[in-house]
Structure 1
Amino acid sequence: MIKLVLFFLLVLGLAGLFAWVADLPGSVMVTLSDTELEVSLLFAAVAIVALIAATMIAWWFIKGIIRSPERLTRHFRSRKRDRGYQALSTGMIAIGAGDSGLARKMNARALQNLDPSTEPLLHLLDAQTSLLEGNHDKARHKFEAMLEDPETRPLGLHGLYLEAQKLGETRAARHFAELAAKDAPQLDWASRAAMEARTANADWDGALTLLDRQLATKQIAKEIYERQRAVLMTAKSMEIVDTDPARSRSLAAEAVSMQPEFVPAVLAQAKAAIRKGDTRTAGKVLEAAWKREPHPQIGDLYLHLRPGDPVQDRLIRARKLEQWKPQNSVAALVLARALYEAGEYDEARQKIEPVVRTEPRESAFLLLADIEDEQTGDEGRVRHWLAQAVKAPRDPAWTADGYVSEHWAPISPVTGRLDAFEWRVPVEQVLPLVDGKPVGAFEYDATVPVIPIIEADRAIPESRPNTTVEDVSLSVDEIEPDLPSEAPVSTGPDASNDAPPLAEEPLEPVSAEPAVAPIHRPGPPDDPGPVGPPPQKDSRYRLF
């Protein structure tokens, strides 16, 4: 609109100018050789303007003729470039659709019309086409060639990283991720992969440095940063607790200050204090954590602050824990266990029975079985409680990606994910729902007669002398199906059971070693213990 107004103003100005010149008196005398021409002032002005216009038109025409070869060349070059980009676009679409034949055809056409030195996407199209065709060696060479150009280096590293992961080259994949994270810290995939590599190698200091870099580049939120930093500092504290307890205690204390509810950090701080001989500080740390949220491992460590303490001293500490958190199932279980170890069987039974009614769990029934065995020696009652324990929900444990462990670890032994372990009830199976209730779910019934209850597929050894909670395994595999399915089973107080007694199998001692190494993948069942990462095969990648 403004341009239109300006155009009208210009036309109006020129018209006014010519009108003003036409009204001026006078003439213009033009002498050509011996001829004199006298014209009006307006005619002279119009002639001058026309001469200028004709000169400009002539110059434009001559210039067009001179430059026509160049323009024609540029026109054909532009058409060629357009055909190349059209082929490149079609080829990338073919890659996404999985059409390797069309992708290779478009790649050849794009190479004919575009210069690979000025168009990096040609390398990507060629590499992706090779991958689609299954030619991994050619694709790898293409990605390696991209590393020479700073503009395409991140793209080449990403391609090499993905391809190494796909082929199981873990060492090479982590190497490329480290290079990418060093060159471009803002790349999220590179930072995550580099973090997995450093935590898998227990490089906690390097992981902390990388975590600080991720926060500086705003890849992670402040809350996630604090949580992961607490996890890494706890892992570092656990690693050096025997060699440098002072440093271990400092790291764990900082982790607790950032995440007060993080139980592994609390345990690490208390263990470091105990290692230094400062049991008073360790007790205060555990007491504060217990008052925030009771946890079985906090209670157990609090009871065993001084390993040489007599049973009565541990019972006193257990009573304190129960006083701080009355009507709490975790506190009741801790106190009941301490009462059992002190020989107070009646009071232990009084503490544990409300738990099996309100929050039934296998450890509670196992403890009842131990109390029954020590107090009355009634094998029928013992077998009943053991059968209830087999059916009861499992106790919470540290779980990560389907892997269950008695001890916390900073990374998942399955996926290598940081901060994967959670304290929760392990999920073993999904039960079908009938009338809104899971079929096969445990329901506690206090009216069930206390007689031996044996299932054909989950038989329990008939005699377990001196059974303790540590000796009783909740695994169905350990409870051998020694009883034939056709054997008669007692169904009431007066029922008789003529089946031959079950063969007693010796119980294997329970190892005090951790069930899972913090940073190792569990070995096969026949292995004597956990093993480290699998040995790397000869890599087909050049590590730059």
Structure 2
Amino acid sequence: MIRLASWIVASLLITAGIAWLIALPGTLTLEVAGYRMQPQLGAAIFMLLLVAALIILVWSIVSRVLATPGSLARRGRERRKEQGVDALSDAFIALQSGDPARARSLAREAQARLPGNAAAQLLEARADLALGDMSAAREHYRALIASEKTAVAALTGLYDQARAQNRSDAALTFARKTLALAPASGWAASAVFDDLTRNGQWAEAVAMVNAEPVANREERAVKRRRQAVIETARAREAENTDPLVALDHALTALKLLPDFVPAALIAARIHINRGETRKAMSLLRRIWRATGHPDAAALYANAQPGASALERLKRVRELIETPPATRAAAMVLARAAIDAYDWPLARNALAPFNGPEATQGVCTLMAEIEEGQNGDQGKAREWLARAVRAPRDPVWTADGITSDEWEPISPVSGRLDAFEWKVPVTAVHRPTLETTPSQLPAVAAEPLPLAQPASQ
């Protein structure tokens, strides 16, 4: 209603204006090509406005007609672009859905509608890679390397392709090139770092770790552990050839991880070989109290080269309270007592742990006690039979394999810091009934080898 009233009022005002304009007094004389016209002033102004409106109308029609081809072309380009974007989106969805053939077809359609689009080229290369068309994928990636915008993405694809073809050298080359172009690339840094550690290039590996930025406490802890593991690997490598350098690396690792057992054992062995028994015993005592690791206690017992079995037992009893609080402590004490022929002490140490849940190491030690104390071959064989079915003792384990000593990397996967002190999931070797007690595995039951073997 308001709109109708407004329209009526506006119409009346316009009509009144036109009437007022035509009614203006006076005349206007126009002479054109010998013709003279003398219209009223208002009529002349009205005719002039009418002619101007007509010219504007004609020009708009002509300009619209002239611009039609360009407008149609622009609209066609926009339609092709929309279709190309839709094809690109559908190609990505198809690739993620596990349909690489349709993804490649849609990526090619997207390239036809979006010439020079890098995303479409990358999608086609990924689809070729998923279809196993390695040569086509390689050509796409190599074409994309020339552009600074797509070089890293292309190198990533080439790296994935090389890994799929088990071409480790080529994959590493692509990773190094990517790292040179994009130092923040996580996968490239990881690939180069894994190669350095796998080949024992510890100095370069620790330099990479030292240069890594950390954003929070968790990342800082991970970085410190990696540094400690690498420093321990360097110490382990130099222990026999350059003990002083090895000791420096081991102590650096202990500054980073104060309770890291492998580094502590290396440092203690070097101290012992250098005649620094007190330093070794102090370090091993601290590690034992912090971790309860049996290797630390076993090495503590042998901290004095040439010590007798009774002296080793006395040293172990200084470290381990009676009765032992843990199975590991009981096994170390029993081992030292057996070596010193203190059969009652050995039996009492193992008494809380020789029940139904007795481990292989406990069963083996009990077999030695029965045979050594009483000469009872029957009971010794019974313990050996139990050892066959008994749970395993903790040992250095990585990727399903076990090791007597800690290793910095897994020989299976090449992963750094893969070895853990834990009970293996499956047993690699099982003793037989005919195995003698000395041949059975007894984790942390025997002293670690030193440069000089300790006498009984």
TM-score (norm 2): 0.80
For residues 404 and 153 of structure 1, the distance between their equivalents in structure 2, rounded to whole angstroms, comes to: 43
Q: Residues 341 and 109 from structure 1, CA distance in 2 versus in 1: closer, same or farther, beyond 3 angstroms?
A: same
Alpha-carbon shift at residue 152 of structure 1 (Å): 1.2
* Corresponding residue for residue 252 of structure 2: 254
Aligned-pair CA distance for 1:200: 0.8
Instruction: Write the mapping of 1:231-310 to structure 2, written as runs, cut at 5 A.
Output: 231-310=229-308
SS at match of 1:460: coil
Alpha-carbon deviation of 1:414?
1.9
Is the 1:241–1:275 contact (alpha carbons within 8 Å) kept by the matching residues of 2? no
8 Å contact from structure 2 (residues 335, 365) kept in 1: yes
Please say if residues 185 and 217 of structure 1, whose CA atoms lie closer than 8 Å, have aligned partners that are also in contact. Answer: no
Letter in 2 for 1:102: R
1:171 partnered with 2:169? yes
Give the 3 Å change call, closer, same or farther, for CA 323–142 of structure 1 in structure 2: same
2:440 counterpart residue number = 472
Say if 1:359 and 1:294 are closer, same or farther in 2 by CA, change over 3 A: farther
- 1:483-515 per-position Cα deviation (integer Å, ceiling 9, x unaligned): xxxxxxxxxxxxxxxxxxxxxxxxxxxx989xx
* Matching of residue 461 in structure 1 with residue 429 in structure 2: no
> How far 1:114 moved relative to its partner?
2.6
Residue 354 of structure 2: aligned partner: 356
Distance in structure 2 (CA, Å) of the matches to 1:163 and 1:54: 70
Match for residue 371 of structure 2? 373
Task: Give the conservation status (yes or no) of the 8 Å contact 2:193–2:205.
Answer: yes
Partner in structure 1 of residue 423 of structure 2: 425
Match of 1:87 in 2: 87
* 1:282-326: CA deviation from partner (whole Å, max 9, x where unpaired): 221111111122111111111222332222321221011113994
1:409 is paired with a residue of what secondary structure? coil
* 2:314 corresponding residue in structure 1: 316
- 1:325 and 1:57 mapped to 2: Cα distance? 110
Contact 2:126 2:157 in 1 (8 A): no
Count of equivalent residues: 426
Question: Measured at CA, do residues 58 and 395 of structure 1 come closer, stay the same or move farther in structure 2, by a change above 3 Å?
Answer: same
Q: Which one has a larger percent helix, Structure 1 or Structure 2?
A: 2
- TM-aligned CA deviation for residue 100 of structure 1: 4.9
Q: Name the counterpart of 1:538.
A: none
User: Which runs of no fewer than 5 residues in structure 2 stay unpaired?
Assistant: 1-9, 19-23, 31-36, 443-447, 451-456
Aligned to 2:117: 119
The Cα shift of 1:238 comes to 1.5
1:242 and 1:28 map into 2 onto residues whose CA distance is 123
Unpaired segments ≥5 residues, structure 1 = 1-13, 430-456, 475-510, 514-544
- Tell me if structure 1 keeps the 8 A contact 2:107–2:121: no
Corresponding position: 1:78 with 2:78: yes
1:397 positional shift: 0.5
Q: Which residue of 2 aligns with 1:342?
A: 340
CA contact (8 A) 1:410 1:419 kept: yes
Distance 1:160 1:322, change over 3 A: same
When normalised by structure 1's length, the TM-score is 0.68
2:433 partner amino acid:
I
Change in CA separation of 1:101 and 1:253 when aligned onto 2, cut-off 3 Å: closer
CA distance in structure 1 between the partners assigned to 2:346 and 2:236 by the alignment? 34
The match for 1:140 is 138
Name which structure has the greater RCO, CA cutoff 8 Å, separation 6+.
2
What is the identity percentage for the equivalent residue pairs of Structure 1 and Structure 2? 33
Query: Which structure is larger by alpha-carbon Rg, 1 or 2?
Result: 2
What are the residue-to-residue correspondences of 1:377-392 with 2, within 5 Å?
Answer: 377-392=375-390
* Deviation of the 1:251 alpha carbon: 2.7
After TM superposition, give the deviation of residue 197 of structure 1 in Å.
1.5
2-structure distance, mates of 1:232, 1:336: 35
* Deviation of 1:343 (Å): 2.0
Contact 1:315–1:338 (CA under 8 A) maintained in structure 2: yes
Deviation at 1:219, TM superposition (A): 12
What amino acid sits opposite 1:113 in the alignment?
A: R
SS of residue matched to 1:215: coil
Question: C-alpha root-mean-square deviation of aligned residues, in Å?
Answer: 3.9
Query: Does structure 1 retain, via aligned residues, the 8 Å contact 2:268–2:281?
Result: yes
Report the CA distance shift for 1:383/1:32 in structure 2 as closer, same or farther (over 3 A). farther
Q: Please report how far the alpha carbon of residue 425 of structure 1 lies from its aligned counterpart in structure 2 after TM superposition.
A: 0.9
**Higher alpha-carbon deviation: 28-37 or 335-344:** 28-37
Which stretch shifts more, 173-182 or 323-332?
A: 323-332
CA contact (8 A) 1:198 1:206 kept: yes
TM superposition shift of 1:184: 1.9
Q: What is the CA distance between 1:53 and its match in structure 2? A: 7.1
Deviations 1:20-72 (A, max 9, x none): x99xxxx89785548485559xx98x999988877766655454444333323
Local SS of the residue matching 2:412: coil
Distance of 2:53 and 2:300 partners within structure 1:
102
Q: Separation in 2 of the partners of 1:160 and 1:266?
A: 43
The structure-2 alpha-carbon separation of the partners of 1:458 and 1:210, relative to structure 1 and needing over 3 Å to count, comes to: closer
Deviates more, 1:49-58 or 1:270-279: 49-58
**Which residue type is aligned with residue 461 of structure 1?**
E
